[in-house]
Amino acid sequence: TPKGSCLESVKVAIDTGYRHIDGAFVYFNEHEVGQAIQEKIAEGRIKREDIFYCGKLWNTCHPPELVRPTLEKTLKILQLDYVDLYIIELPMAFKPGDAIYPRDENGKFIYHETDLCATWEAWQSLLEDPISTASNFNRRQLEMILNKPGLKYKPVSNQVECHPYFTQPKLLEFCRQHDIVIVGYSPLGTSRDETWVNVSSPPLLKDPVLNAIGKKYNKTAAQVALRFSIQRGVVVIPKSFNPQRIRENFQIFDFSLTEKEMKEIEALNKNVRYVELLM
Ligand code: A2P
């Protein structure tokens, strides 16, 4: 993000009423998020405990001995004493080291063999009052953790792509059965940045059904998409660096979709990911 835009956006978001902030070391703007939180605390607008901050353990930091130092580094960047949620960003590891995306001479990613259960254990032990959680885990990976001998803390949430074009019905059902909350990323269909987004899937917010339903309630397609997710019990983390759209995305608690509309939107599912994570 352009320097300073994250700082300003988080401040607008907090003023608007947002309290759940989703960040990561690998977004390279955690210092701005932390500064925004500190400024709002200093202004007296919020207390630290009002904020629910989610941080993420990057792929190069999976070896158990790196988990604690990595979290400590993140806390320092954020100027916070704790994060509310700390998730394994992706269920596979890269070679540890300074390179965030380590590649060999042929440009291929250099992976690293770690045991996901060992990473889980390392982190179980570092949190006094832990909320253990996962990201981009499929059913098999969640089951591996849930069935781990001596499991102390089970995953309580799983952050995955989720929106009307990728509704994740099976994973949602599995997670419901195990009291795992789905946190849906790209709830608006992403920024369609071709460097990391599969743009062959059509733009979500241009969808005629979402727009028609929006018209009925005097809402935008974005607001309908977000409302659809929260009505299914999916937590949404919409991203915007525009103050007007940050506010717009919060105006979703004054209307509700009928069962018929929910079904209509569910039927839009294309089972195609915008974020393919080919790595
Ligand atoms: P911008 O930052 O200019 O608002 P996602 O949350 O699915 O990752 O989508 C993020 C993208 O959606 C960003 O490009 C963001 O652009 C755009 N966006 C965010 N809110 C809205 C909105 N209410 N209407 C249209 N586009 C939006």
Pocket lining for ligand 1, CB < 6 angstroms: 186-191, 205, 220, 222, 238-242, 245, 248-249
Task: Tell me the Ramachandran region of residue 210: left when phi exceeds 0, alpha when psi lies from -120 to 50, beta otherwise.
Answer: alpha
Kindly state the helix (H) or strand (E) to which residue 182 belongs, with its residue range: strand 181-185
Contact residues for 30 (Cβ-Cβ < 8 A; gap 6+): 23, 24, 55, 74, 77, 78
- 3-state SS track over 41-87: HHCCCCCHHHCEEEEEECHHHCCHHHHHHHHHHHHHHHCCCCCCEEE
Kindly state the helix (H) or strand (E) to which residue 158 belongs, with its residue range: strand 157-161
Q: Any idea which residue has 């009925």 for tokens?
A: 216
Residue 125: per-residue pLDDT = 76
Q: 158 alpha carbon to ligand 1 midpoint, in Å? A: 22
Which atom of ligand 1 is nearest to 274's Cα?
Answer: 7
Q: SS3 for 214? A: helix
Q: SS3 for 146? A: helix
Q: Any idea which residue has 């949404």 for tokens?
A: 236
Which DSSP state fits 262?
H
Contact status, residue 33 vs residue 80, Cβ threshold 8 Å: no
Residue 190: per-residue pLDDT = 97
Token pair belonging to 212: 């028609």
Q: SS3 for 6? A: helix
Token pair belonging to 216: 């009925």
Known catalytic residue at 82? no
Distance CA 91, CA 111 (A): 12
Choose one of 6, 245, 275 to mutate for the ligand 1 pocket test, by most ligand atoms within 8 angstroms of C-beta: 245
Residue 279: per-residue pLDDT = 82
Nearest CA to ligand 1 atom 11: 191
Distance CA 199, CA 240 (A): 19
Distance CA 162, CA 223 (A): 15
Distance CA 13, CA 241 (A): 10
Domains delineated in the chain: 5-267 (3.20.20.100)
Choose one of 16, 191, 198, 219 to mutate for the ligand 1 pocket test, by most ligand atoms within 8 angstroms of C-beta: 191
How many other CB atoms are found less than 10 A from the CB of residue 140?
Answer: 8
Which atom of ligand 1 is nearest to 188's Cα?
Answer: 7
* Given the residues 27, 82, 153, 217, the one annotated as active site: 27
Q: Strand 181-185 and strand 157-161: pairing? A: parallel
Task: Tell me the Ramachandran region of residue 185: left when phi exceeds 0, alpha when psi lies from -120 to 50, beta otherwise.
Answer: beta
How do the pLDDT tens digits run along the chain, 279 residues long?
Answer: 788 899 999 999 999 999 999 999 999 999 999 999 999 999 999 999 999 999 999 999 999 999 999 999 999 999 999 898 889 999 999 999 999 999 999 999 999 999 999 998 888 777 655 566 788 899 999 999 999 998 888 899 999 999 999 999 999 999 999 999 999 999 999 999 999 999 999 999 999 999 999 999 999 999 999 999 999 999 999 999 999 999 999 999 999 999 999 999 999 999 999 999 888
Instruction: Say what the pTM is.
Output: 0.95
Sign of CA dihedral 62, 68, 69, 72: positive
Choose one of 240, 248, 250 to mutate for the ligand 1 pocket test, by most ligand atoms within 8 angstroms of C-beta: 240
Residue 132: per-residue pLDDT = 67
Which atom of ligand 1 is nearest to 221's Cα?
Answer: 24
- Picking from 82, 174, 102, 103, the residue whose alpha carbon sits closest to that of residue 134 is 174
Token pair belonging to 257: 């979709």
- Picking from 134, 144, 118, the residue whose alpha carbon sits closest to that of residue 65 is 118
Contact status, residue 107 vs residue 75, Cβ threshold 8 Å: no
Residue 278: per-residue pLDDT = 85
Residue 128: per-residue pLDDT = 58
